[in-house]
Amino acid sequence: MIAEKAVQIAQHNDLALLVGSDRKSFIIRLEEGSQLHTHRGTVSHDDLIGFPWGTQLFTHMGYPFLLLRPSTDDLVRKLKRTTQIVYPKDAGYILIKMRITPGCRVVEAGSGSGGLTLIFAQAVSPAGRVYSYEVRPKMQQLARSNLEQLGLADFVEFKLRDISAGFDECGADALFLDVRNPWDYLAQSHAALSGGGFFGCILPTTNQVSQLIGALEESSFGMIEVEELLLRQYKAIPARLRPMDRMVAHTGYLIFARALIPLEE
Amino acid sequence: MIAEKAVQIAQHNDLALLVGSDRKSFIIRLEEGSQLHTHRGTVSHDDLIGFPWGTQLFTHMGYPFLLLRPSTDDLVRKLKRTTQIVYPKDAGYILIKMRITPGCRVVEAGSGSGGLTLIFAQAVSPAGRVYSYEVRPKMQQLARSNLEQLGLADFVEFKLRDISAGFDECGADALFLDVRNPWDYLAQSHAALSGGGFFGCILPTTNQVSQLIGALEESSFGMIEVEELLLRQYKAIPARLRPMDRMVAHTGYLIFARALIPLEE
Amino acid sequence: MIAEKAVQIAQHNDLALLVGSDRKSFIIRLEEGSQLHTHRGTVSHDDLIGFPWGTQLFTHMGYPFLLLRPSTDDLVRKLKRTTQIVYPKDAGYILIKMRITPGCRVVEAGSGSGGLTLIFAQAVSPAGRVYSYEVRPKMQQLARSNLEQLGLADFVEFKLRDISAGFDECGADALFLDVRNPWDYLAQSHAALSGGGFFGCILPTTNQVSQLIGALEESSFGMIEVEELLLRQYKAIPARLRPMDRMVAHTGYLIFARALIPLEE
Amino acid sequence: MIAEKAVQIAQHNDLALLVGSDRKSFIIRLEEGSQLHTHRGTVSHDDLIGFPWGTQLFTHMGYPFLLLRPSTDDLVRKLKRTTQIVYPKDAGYILIKMRITPGCRVVEAGSGSGGLTLIFAQAVSPAGRVYSYEVRPKMQQLARSNLEQLGLADFVEFKLRDISAGFDECGADALFLDVRNPWDYLAQSHAALSGGGFFGCILPTTNQVSQLIGALEESSFGMIEVEELLLRQYKAIPARLRPMDRMVAHTGYLIFARALIPLEE
């Protein structure tokens, strides 16, 4: 079967996901001469480079692991972070609701740890751009470092800025706010968006949602929607298929709206 | 405020979403000289062309509507269809779990009405390709027509084929099966995927899920996951925020796996 | 098999549930000489009286139906109503959270159509009592008529009263408010409850929940809990087990608390 | 306010729930001379007896706690157990769907730790009876001890028996199976139930559900329903109302059916 299929080989500088039989996983960038140290033994990058993706290999202690390319879900879950991350289930839906596609110009604030930034950057690349605002220097530093690590920094302009001063962009296709008080930045957001542009936000509490949608109505936004997604995972055992015992019950409420052109008086 | 923002204008050949105050909506491709007839009056395309996106306009009977670009969610919901469509909530998550990004080569079967095809085509464009297999000529015709309508057909190769004969591709980044009996096509799917490539599937019944994951285990797939997403919509009224009364309770179970390279004997 | 089991016979004055093969159902009180007219033909009560429960019988047009005793769920769903009813899923949980058991004294307001009244009356009978307050005479009339119809009126004292004037009872085991503005009646509720007594409420919007729990904290209530229940129904087909396509997404938020004895100054 | 309300006093032999400010809780039966030792200090039962329910008291180390009667939910959650317990959300719904009310005769197997037994015993008391079958002597011992502890053993007949030999009862109002292989006991269950009697079951996996409903159809059961309940808890903070971060994603699928009288040949 190997002969039949295009064998693609792990190469120097590739991102790799290593998954042990206990499903414990690591994401590394392959570098000649480097090593990964795990509680189940050491893996030399040189022993990975040149192997086909999808291969089972072994640590020096004999523990098996899989050599894979990471999914976007893996990238987000493994991101170095100091903040709550937007979950993949929410991020995927945001892409669809806000039509974030190759070539789009997307504004986001704040950058946070860069979880949503990486998803936006991937989705709009190579021709599009993400303009990512953050007011905390250390946080911006982390997001930038994460995006550089993933090879996506070229598609992002990081801006260290309090967005109450407004965004530099205008005519943006989409703008996403992941901040505590989005209602304070609606005029700025409207100014940055193209006519009819996509506005999105994620908020944890119902009180914030009420406050935001009230403010949106008064700020020339329309088509307001509030939604939430619940992800339920199953134990993948053919003869005993059943949901996992526990699940994440809440990540946040998603709010979407469109920037309208106010009627001239 | 209009002065401050980049005014973007609806032009001949653009896709437009028209939304009435009753939230009833239409997606049209703007053509000089054409007209849209609704139960609330007629709209001449010539009266839309040249207006900024996000503007409120009126039918000849005086009913207001918004002139907007459609979101991906709008495109899928308004697609001409004769089959069940993969819902946007599921499609967005599929993009994230299978890392379907610009430049990817994605195989899917069947084409159905083209709902997932359009989402994949958008996400991989302009450099990537979707290879979309369908065995029913009329269905393929519908999917192709839908993709052409949306200007996305250039990114798709439609193939009229029973996939039990296998796929033409090898080394594909991702492969998605939306068929009743996916367990019958796992060897073919494995052959089409790159090493470690992303496999995905959506199935409505638990019995099918059990059968598929049992077959995946025996067909050199690993990292099997079964998940489902529940979308809950809220009434966006600031002082009376609450979930809608009813919701879609089930679209399908999502199954994801990775194509592994079998150990050499 | 009939011989082996205690055959119980439908008798004059029994409540009966008739269910057609299309799952359309009727609840009637069996009365000699009466008839039920359905779109699938007529059923004479005299033809039901004397038959064992669980039997399949036929209308005069030959359509089959089952002769069953109604469940509590059936009683609630078939209740003659002019208001939203508390759903069985919520009512059952209320019984457990508020320990509503035989012998309890339970206060409720308002009576509404009597849906919750019937569940409380059943659960506390024969020694307990439900004190059911309602301010709208027609509504009280409906609730009373419904409870009489079900033979449960002996366990209920209906009171036509604006509860802002307070409840007659003190030392009640449990008190449930199904009103729009429960925060206006917390002092009255506290006065009616025994020390540590169970307080419960159902509310549709998040704004109401916030307002209520704030007021509870200031009114000598403690152990406040906010919960909601989602009921998902499945298509009961062995080879194609799957959730129903649609579900009720929201009935109400359940709020529970305990009446505390304020510390003496 | 104390003066206005019926003061009810904790007495020797009462069941009491003590809840600390950290929401850590204990259920004890008050006995003169006894003591409860907690990590936050000792509580002498004699210091509780004579106090009104709903009072805040203190451990000898000065930590506050509330003196309350336990809810049914509290009783189940605090039950001494060696097995998975039927959750209160499910138990309440079972009461409603199977019309388990005062005076009913209910059969259950197995007894397990007695969680469902206690709920059934409470609900049918004082005139009804629960017939609780269990094949493991130690498990029966635990269930019996738990019910005695709660003062509910008088309403239960415990039977040490493999139910494949059948139940002693006939004409039971309701029968609930909480066993791994309920399909093996359907003839026995049918024989124990009254005509039209209520059958219920809880099962963790979809495969079991498919097998059971197939067997029910072939065993003279009808009106088969498969349902599940999801309980979502909220953080009860007025200004920051939101769901808890995590929840129980799965307890079990509930299956309900009615015992039908087979048509005579």
CA of C206: which chain A residue's CA is closest?
Answer: A206
CA gap B141, A210 in Å, rounded: 46
Q: Do A247 and D244 touch (CB under 8 A)?
A: no
Return d(Cα A106, Cα A99) in angstroms, integer.
10
A204 and chain C: CB distance < 8 Å anywhere?
no
Q: Quick one: A39 exposed, middle or buried, by C-beta within 10 A (0-12, 13-18, 19+)?
A: exposed
Instruction: Give the nearest chain B residue to C239 (CA atoms).
Output: B207
Task: Check D228 against C231: CB less than 8 A apart.
Answer: yes
Instruction: Return the ∠ at Cα B254 (arms to B248 and B260), rounded to 5°.
Output: 175
Res. D258: pLDDT tops 50: yes
Please judge whether A244 and D242 are an interchain contact, meaning their C-beta atoms are less than 8 angstroms apart.
no
pLDDT at B1 (0 to 100): 33
Secondary element (H or E) of residue C45: helix C45-48
Q: Which DSSP string do the residues of chain D spell out, in sequence order?
A: -TTTS---B--TT-EEEEEETTS-EEEEE--TT-EEEETTEEEEHHHHTTSBTTEEEE-TTS-EEEEEPPPHHHHHHT---SSPPPPHHHHHHHHHHTT--TT-EEEEE--TTSHHHHHHHHHHTTT-EEEEEES-HHHHHHHHHHHHHTT-GGGEEEEE--GGG--S--SEEEEEE-SS-GGGGHHHHHHHEEEEEEEEEEESSHHHHHHHHHHHHTTTEEEEEEEEEEEEEEE--GGG-EE-SEEE--S-EEEEEEEPPPPP-
Choose from D203, D205, D206, D240 for mutation: most chain B CBs within 10 A.
Answer: D206
Count of residues in chain A: 265
- For A3, residues 6+ apart whose C-beta sits below 8 A from its C-beta are none
Q: How far apart are CA D157 and CA B81, in angstroms?
A: 60
Write out pLDDT tens, residues D191-244.
999 999 999 999 999 999 999 999 999 999 999 999 999 999 999 999 999 999
Q: Do B234 and A226 touch (CB under 8 A)?
A: yes
Nearest residue of C to residue A228 by CA position?
C249
Cβ distance A260 to B123 less than 8 Å, yes or no, reads no
Nearest to C250 among B204, B205, B245 (CB): B245
CATH number of B15-70: 3.10.330.20
Query: What pLDDT does residue D135 have?
Result: 97
Interchain contact B236–C (C-beta under 8 A): no
Q: Is the pLDDT of residue D5 over 50?
A: no
Which parts of chain C register pLDDT below 50?
A: 1-5, 265
> Does A229 contact chain B (CB < 8 Å)?
yes
Is residue A207's pLDDT more than 90? yes
The residues pairing with D156 across neighbouring beta strands, listed in sequence order, are D130
> Which pLDDT score, from 0 to 100, does residue A264 have?
66
**Is-contact D131 D105, C-beta < 8 A?**
yes
Q: Is A210 within 8 Å of chain C by CB?
A: yes
pLDDT at A80: 94
C-alpha distance from A105 to closest chain B C-alpha (Å): 13
**CATH fold of D73-259:** Rossmann fold (3.40.50)
Taking residues A19-38, report their average pLDDT: 93
Q: Is C206 on the interface with A (CB under 8 A)?
A: yes
Tens-place pLDDT, residues A100-137: 999 999 999 999 999 999 999 999 999 999 999 999 99
Distance between D179 CA and the closest CA of chain C, angstroms: 19
**Of how many residues is chain D composed?**
265
Q: How many CB atoms lie within 10 A of CB D41?
A: 15
pTM for this prediction: 0.96
- Which SS3 state, helix, strand or coil, does residue C122 take? helix
User: Which chain A residues contact residue C209 at CB under 8 A?
Assistant: 206
Domain boundaries, chain C: 15-70, 73-259
Q: A207 at the C interface (CB within 8 A)?
A: yes
Q: Could you read off the pLDDT of D99-120 as tens digits, one per residue?
A: 999 999 999 999 999 999 999 9
Q: Tally B–D CB contacts below 8 A.
A: 9
Mutate to test the interface with A, among D250, D251, D253, D254 (most CBs of A within 10 A): D250
**pLDDT (0 to 100) of residue C264:** 66
Instruction: With CB atoms and an 8 Å threshold, state whether A250 touches D239.
Output: no
Angstrom CA distances, B202 to B93, B205, D190, stand at 12, 10, 38
**Partners of B193 in beta bridges:** B172
Report how far residue D68's alpha carbon sits from residue B261's, in angstroms, rounded to the nearest whole number: 62
Residue D126: list chain C partners with CB under 8 A: 102
Neighbours of D211 (CB within 10 A): 16
Q: Does D210 touch chain B (CB under 8 A)?
A: yes
Give me the architecture of the B74-259 domain, per CATH.
3-Layer(aba) Sandwich (3.40)
DSSP string spanning chain A? -TTTS---B--TT-EEEEEETTS-EEEEE--TT-EEEETTEEEEGGGTTTSBTTEEEE-TTS-EEEEEPPPHHHHHHT---SSPPPPHHHHHHHHHHTT--TT-EEEEE--TTSHHHHHHHHHHTTT-EEEEEES-HHHHHHHHHHHHHTT-GGGEEEEE--GGG--S--SEEEEEE-SS-GGGGHHHHHHHEEEEEEEEEEESSHHHHHHHHHHHHTTTEEEEEEEEEEEEEEE--GGG-EE-SEEE--S-EEEEEEEPPPPP-
State residue D265's pLDDT score: 47
Residue type, B126: P
Q: Is D203 on the interface with C (CB under 8 A)?
A: no
Whether residues C249 and B250 touch (CB distance < 8 A) is answered with no
Please report the pLDDT score of residue C3 as a whole number. 39
pLDDT at D169 over 60: yes
Supply the DSSP symbol for B261.
P
Residue of D232, D241, D250 with shortest CB distance to A205 = D241
D3: contact with A, CB 8 A cutoff: no
CA distances from D64 to A153, B105, B212, D55, D68 (A): 55, 64, 56, 10, 13
Which residues does chain D have within 8 Å of residue A202's beta carbon, measured at their own beta carbons?
A: none
Judged against a pLDDT cut of 80, whether residue A235 lies above it is answered with yes
CA distances in angstroms from C54 to C136, D105, D258, listed in the order given? 40, 17, 8
* Residue B154 DSSP SS3: helix
**Do the strands C221-235 and C242-243 form a parallel or antiparallel pair, or are they unpaired?**
antiparallel
- C210 part of contact set with chain A, CB < 8 Å: yes
Query: Nearest residue of B to residue D209 by CA position?
Result: B206
How many beta carbons lie within 10 A of that of residue A239, not counting itself?
Answer: 10
Place of tokens 């099918």: B208
Q: Nearest by CB to C194, which of D8, D170, D210?
A: D8
Q: What is the pLDDT of residue A22?
A: 85
Any chain B CB within 8 A of the CB of C205? yes
**Could you tell me which chains touch chain B, where touching means 3 or more CB pairs under 8 A?**
A, C, D
The verdict on a CB contact (< 8 Å) between C245 and B245 is: no
Contact between D250 and A240 using a beta-carbon 8 Å cutoff: no
**Averaged confidence pLDDT in chain A:** 95
Q: What is the per-residue DSSP string for B16-69?
A: EEEEETT--EEEEE--TT-EEEETTEEEEGGGTTTSBTTEEEE-TT--EEEEEP
Report the residue of chain C nearest D9, measured CA to CA. Answer: C195
CB contact under 8 Å between A205 and D246, yes or no, is no
Determine whether the interchain pair B245/C249 forms a contact, defined as Cβ–Cβ distance below 8 Å. Answer: yes
Q: Which of D206, D242, D249 sits opposite A245 (nearest CB)?
A: D249
Instruction: Look up residue C185 and give its DSSP letter.
Output: G
- Pick from C207, C239, C250: CB nearest B244: C250
Residues of B with Cβ-Cβ distance to D206 under 8 angstroms: 206-207, 209-210
Determine the average pLDDT of the residues in A135-152.
97
Could you list the pLDDT tens digit for every one of the 265 residues in chain B? 333 445 689 999 999 999 998 889 999 999 999 999 998 999 999 999 999 999 999 999 999 999 999 999 999 999 999 988 899 999 999 999 999 999 999 999 999 999 999 999 999 999 999 999 999 999 999 999 999 999 999 999 999 999 999 999 999 999 999 999 999 999 999 999 999 999 999 999 999 999 999 999 999 999 999 999 999 999 999 999 999 999 999 999 999 999 999 876 4
* CB atoms closer than 10 angstroms to residue C14: 17
Q: How far apart are CA D105 and CA C47, in angstroms?
A: 28
C73-259 shares the fold of C15-70: no
State whether residue C121 is helix, strand or coil.
helix
pLDDT at A1: 34
List, as ranges, residues 76-105 from B with C-beta within 8 Å of A.
76, 88-89, 91-99, 101-102
- C-facing residues of B in 243-262 (CB < 8 A) are 243-250
Q: Given an 8 Å threshold on Cβ–Cβ distance, is B5 in contact with A53?
A: no
Confidence band, pLDDT 50/70/90 cuts, at residue A7: low
Q: 3-class SS at C59? A: coil
Q: Which residue on chain C is closest to A241 by alpha carbon?
A: C241
